[in-house]
Amino acid sequence: MKKYIAFISATIIVLGVMLYSTKNEYIFKIFGTSSVEENSEKQEKDSKDSNKEGGVLKNISGIFNKYVKDDSEDKGESPSAEIEEENDNNSEDKYKYSQGILLVNRKNKLDKDFIPKELVVPKVKFKSSADPLVKKMEKEAAEALERMFNAAREEGITLLGVSGYRSYKIQESVYNNKVKKSGKSYADKYVAQPGTSEHQSGLSMDMVSTEHTALDTAFENTKAFKWLDANAHKYGFILRYPKGKEKVTGYNYEPWHYRYVGVNASEEIKNYGITLEEYMEN
């Protein structure tokens, strides 16, 4: 295509020059290229007696060849080939994965620009005060959450979603606010620093129920928690920060925080009574 455009352009220039100008400089001004000007100077020295129109045609021929050369060089790089991203923000080489499961904690951080590939808002009931900005989950996790909430409802348990995916910036705001309110020491026990939060993975959901709507340890005394404890693993979810495993997970017990890992992993984690960290080490 470039060859045809160059040829047509060259033809138009020849006609223009023949009709309106007899000076070689005219074509130089059109293209504004130093290589053409140098060509012209050489031609003027080597062939002073050649007529001006012939000189113009030679210059145009050189320009045409230049375009053809550039076109062939372009074709050397496949126009349909896409440049691979050097930094794949969701690459398994960049973050800690085991059997396709992503581990996020204080030692295994996510970058500021890590964003789950497919975020959707699960079709479940949320706590009325839940922030619309943090209702999303990665699609597979969201669909599993829907199945779990529906199963609980069939048994008279009404679960409520509170907080799912949080971007790095939102987590940063949550953490800083907690530090200002309760101090850094307390904040670090319950709130992940930006980049170390599972919420950024889009695979976690904080949840409560109509029985108890506060995110505190009293949730463990509800029918909803007992139902989750007995059934969450059937849908691919685990209690991420269980009691007695604080030194392993790095966080205090949180009966409201559930993480999607898939049914195979969740059943094994549940059966052995281990954490995600322990599961990924084995």
| Weakest-pLDDT range from 64-68, 91-95, 219-223 | 64-68
Average predicted confidence (pLDDT) for the chain: 78
- Report whether pLDDT(56) > 60: no
Task: Reply yes or no on whether the pLDDT at 265 is more than 70.
Answer: yes
Mean pLDDT within 200-214:
98
What pLDDT is attached to residue 282?
78
Determine the average pLDDT of the residues in 25-36.
Answer: 38
Looking at the chain, the whole-number percentage of residues with pLDDT higher than 70 is 67
pLDDT value at 94 more than 80: no
For the record, the structure tokens of 118 come out as: 């497919």
Higher-pLDDT residue of 178 and 36 is: 178
Q: What per-residue confidence (pLDDT) applies to 16?
A: 53
- Report how far residue 15's alpha carbon sits from residue 21's, in angstroms, rounded to the nearest whole number: 10
pLDDT at 44: 45
User: Span 83-110, mean pLDDT?
Assistant: 72
Amino acid identity at 44: E
Average pLDDT over residues 195-206: 97
- Please confirm, yes or no, whether 254 is among the known catalytic residues: yes
Residue 73 confidence class, pLDDT cut points 50, 70, 90? very low
Task: State residue 11's pLDDT score.
Answer: 56
Q: Which of 85, 254, 278, 281 is catalytic?
A: 254
Q: What integer pLDDT is reported at residue 12 of this predicted model?
A: 57
- Per DSSP, what are the bridge partners of residue 208? 160
pTM above 0.85, yes or no: no
What value does the mean pLDDT take over residues 131-155? 97
Q: How much is the pLDDT for 2?
A: 47
